[in-house]
Amino acid sequence: MIEVRNLKKTYDVKRRDGLFKSHRERIEAVKDISMRIDAGQIVGLLGINGAGKTTTIKMLTTLIEPTSGTYSFDGMDAIKHPSEVKKQINMIAGGERMIYWRLTAYENLWYYGQLYGIDNAVLKQRIEKLLKLVGLEDRANFPVETFSKGMKQRLQIARGLINDPKYIFLDEPTIGLDAVVTQELHREIKSLAKEHGKGILLTSHYLSEVEELCDYIYLVNSGELVVEGIKKDLTDFVFLRNQYEFSTKGMDEAIYQKLKSHICHVDNEAEISFENGKTVIESKMELSSVLAGFAIQEMLTINELHKMEPSLEQAVIKLSKDMQKEEIA
Amino acid sequence: MELKVLKATIKKEFQVRLRVYPISFMVGCILTSFYTTFGAWLMYHYFFRRQLSDSFSGLTGTSDYMSYAIVGSLMYLFVVRTCLNVSRTLMTELWEGTLESLMLAPFRRVAYFLGNMLLQTITTFGETAIATLIGVFFGLRIHEFNIIEFGIAVVLSLYCFFGVSLMLGCVMLYTRNTYITQNTLFTGMFLVCGITFPIEYLPTGLRLLGKLIPVTDCVSLMRAALLGGMGQGQFTQTALMALISGTIYIAFGMPLMKQAERLALEKMEG
C-alpha cells in the first residue's frame, strides 16, 4: 500500500523583473495532499487549474523529494529509500517522450530492462509479451522515429511495464491515442489492477476515462485536496442531482399537479417541471420506484421513465466554476 | 547490475551513433585540431622565425616546438571530444525527453557515465588518429616513445577527463546551457592548460588556475611519453598530481551530479 500524509512541495524560483532585476519567489506547487493507493486498486487523481498533479506524481515516483510530509511504501519510508521504491514502480506519461527515438522498439525495451537489472532470459520473454500487448510485434525492429504518435505512445506503455511494477503511475496515458487503442489500453489497465493486483494511479483529462476506470478518486485544486471518494461522493459534494424524465399516456396538467404533490411528499427539495408532455424531476433521492408506484396507483401506462445520474464531468465542471467564482469574490 | 548498465549503455550509444553519427561534428573537431596546429605552425615559422627562447627548452625539455604544439592540440581534441559528450549526456536525455524515464530506473549513475565515456573514448581514439596524420604533415616527430609512460598517461587522462566531464555536466544541467558553459571552459583550458605553450609563461593567477585543472598535468604526461624531456621522478610526481586532482573532481562531481539531476527534474516543473 502507498500512503502519503500532508505532502508538501515548495520551490524557490527566480522571477525576472527586467533586464538586470530579478527577485526570488516561493511557489507552493503542492500544499497539503494525503492519499492512499492499495494493491489492485485504480485511483484517479483529478485536478483543476494547475492543481499540482504532476508534482504529486513526481514525488510519489521519488523523482523529486517532498518539502515535508510522510510517504510510506508498503510500510517502508519511501523518502529515505527511493532506490527500493524505484524497483517496484514505473510511470507512463502521455505523449511521445520517455523513449529513445533513434533506437528500435526492441532496443528501447532491452535498454530499459538492463537499467532495471532484469535477467536476460526473462527480459527477452517479457519484451516479446509486451510488444504483443501493445500491438508492436511486427514493428519491433524499426527505429522509433519512423513510428506514428500512437505507436510511440504504445511503446511507452510497454516501457512502463518492463520491470513488472507493483504500482504504476499513469499520467495522461491515452492522450493522442485512437479509440480502438484507448479501449484496449483501458482493458489492460483494468486487468493489471484486478487480475494482477497492481496499484494504479491515473491522471487524465478525459473524465469519462477516470469515471470508467477508477475505484476511488482524489480531486485536487491549487495543490490541496478538495474532495475524495467514489464518483457518487464527488457528485454529492457538489450537490449534483439525478435527473428523471417521466411521461405517461394521457398526461395532462391535472396529473402533473398530482405527481408534483406526490414527489414533494417524498423529497421537498426536488425540482419539478413539465415540458413537452414530460415531467422532468431533479432530485438527490432515488425516485424510480416512487414514480412507478405513482403510475400504478393512478392506473397510468408509463411511456417513459428515464434516470440520468450526474457524471463526473458535470461534477468537476461545476466545482471548477464554483471555485473560479470564489476566487473572483 | 552495474556491469549490465555499463555494457547496455555502451551498446545503446553505439547503436545510436551507428544510425546518426554526427560526422559534421567530428569533422569540426578534427578541423579545430587542424586550425590549432596550423596556427602554431604559422606563428612558429612566420612570427617567431623558428627562434625559440632558451627558456622554452628549459621548461619543456624539448626544442621541437611543432611536436610540442601538435601533441598539445591532439590532447586538446581528446579532452574536448570526451568531456563534451560525457558532460552532455544528461542534457541530451533532457532534450530528448528521456531524462525522467532514465531517472525512474534504480541504477548507479557511475556505470551509466562510464559507459558513455568508454564508447566516446573509442570514437575519440579514431578521430585523434586522423588528427595525428595531419600533425605528421605539420612536423610531428615522436622523439622518445615510452610505452609504459604512454599507457599511464592515457589511463590517467581518461580518469581525469571523466572527473572534468562530471563537473562540466553539473554546470550544464544546473544552468540548462551547454554552449556558453562548454565554450567558456574549453577556451579557458586552451589558454591555461599548456596546450601550445608552457604555463610558466602565464601570470601567476592563471598559472595556478591551470594547475587546478587536471588536463594540464595530463598534457605534460603525454608529452613526456611521446617527446621525452621529463625525468622519471618528475613523471611520477606529475602522474600523482593528476591522480589526486582527478580523484577530487570525481569525488565532488558524483554527488554534485545527483544534486544537479534533482534540480533539473524540479526545473522541469517550471
User: Taking the domains of chain B in order of start, what are their residue ranges?
Assistant: 2-267
The whole-number pLDDT of residue B12 equals 93
Helical pair B65-87 and B214-227, crossing angle rounded to 10 deg: 140
- Asked if residue B269 has pLDDT above 70, the reply is no
Pairing mode of beta strands A224-229, A242-248: unpaired
For residue B17, list chain A residues with Cβ-Cβ distance below 8 A: none
What is the average pLDDT value for chain A, to the nearest integer? Answer: 87
Report residue B148's pLDDT band, with 50, 70 and 90 as the boundaries: very high
Distance from CA of B191 to the nearest CA of A (A): 30
Instruction: Report pLDDT digits (tens) over B70-80.
Output: 999 899 988 98
| Lowest mean per-residue pLDDT among A57-71, A75-89, B35-49, B89-103 | B35-49
The three three-digit cell numbers of residue A142, written as one number:
524499426
Q: pLDDT over 70 for what percent of chain B?
A: 98
* Residue found by looking up cell 508492436 in the block: A136
CA A20 to chain B, closest CA, distance in angstroms equals 17
* Contacts with B1 from chain A: Cβ below 8 Å: 117
Of A308 and B29, the structure prediction assigns the larger pLDDT to A308
Going by pLDDT thresholds of 50, 70 and 90, the confidence category of residue B104 is very high
- Go through B130-151 and write b for each residue having 16 or more CB atoms within 10 A of its CB, e for each that does not: bbbebbeebbbeeeeebeebbe
Contact of A92 with A105, CB cutoff 8 Å = no
Query: How many contacts (CB atoms, under 8 Å) link A and B?
Result: 81
Q: A2-88+165-232 has which CATH code?
A: 3.40.50.300
Inspect the interface and report whether the beta carbons of B107 and A91 lie closer than 8 Å: no
- Residues of A whose CB is below 8 A from B7: 114
Set of chain B residues whose Cβ sits within 8 Å of the Cβ of A78: none
| pLDDT one-digit tens code per residue, B224-235 | 999 988 889 999
Chain A residue with Cα closest to B12:
A111
Q: Is the pLDDT of residue A318 over 90?
A: no
CATH code: domain A241-308 is 3.30.70.100
Residue of chain B whose Cα is closest to the Cα of A107 = B12
Q: Identify the residue with better confidence: B224 or A150.
A: B224
d(CA A222, CA A183): 31
- Of B66, B39, B38, whose CA–CA distance to B52 is shortest? B66
Q: What is the mean pLDDT of residues A248-273?
A: 85
Q: What is the DSSP string of A9-25?
A: EEEEEEEE-SSS-EEEE
Percentage of chain B lying above the pLDDT 90 cut: 43
What's the mean pLDDT in A311-324?
75
Q: E strands of chain A, at which residues?
A: 2-16, 22-37, 42-48, 68-73, 76-77, 89-93, 167-171, 199-203, 216-221, 224-229, 242-248, 271-275, 278-283, 302-308
H-state helical runs in A219-311: 231-237, 253-266, 288-297
| pTM for this predicted structure | 0.82
Considering only alpha carbons, which residue of chain A is nearest residue B104? A86
Whether the predicted pLDDT of A202 surpasses 80: yes
CA distance B110 to chain A (A): 12
Q: How far apart are CA A290 and CA A262, in angstroms?
A: 9
Among B173, B167, B169, B215, smallest CA distance to B195 is for: B215
Confidence at A49, pLDDT banded by 50, 70, 90: low
Residues of A in contact with B104 (CB under 8 A): 61, 63, 86, 89-91
- Does residue A240 carry a pLDDT above 80? no
- Give the residue on A whose Cα is nearest the Cα of B268: A55
Q: Where are the domains of chain A?
A: 2-88+165-232, 241-308
Residue B20 to residue A102, Cβ atoms within 8 A: yes
Q: For A53-83, how does the pLDDT look when each residue is reduced to its tens digit (9 = 90+)?
A: 888 999 999 998 999 999 999 999 999 999 9
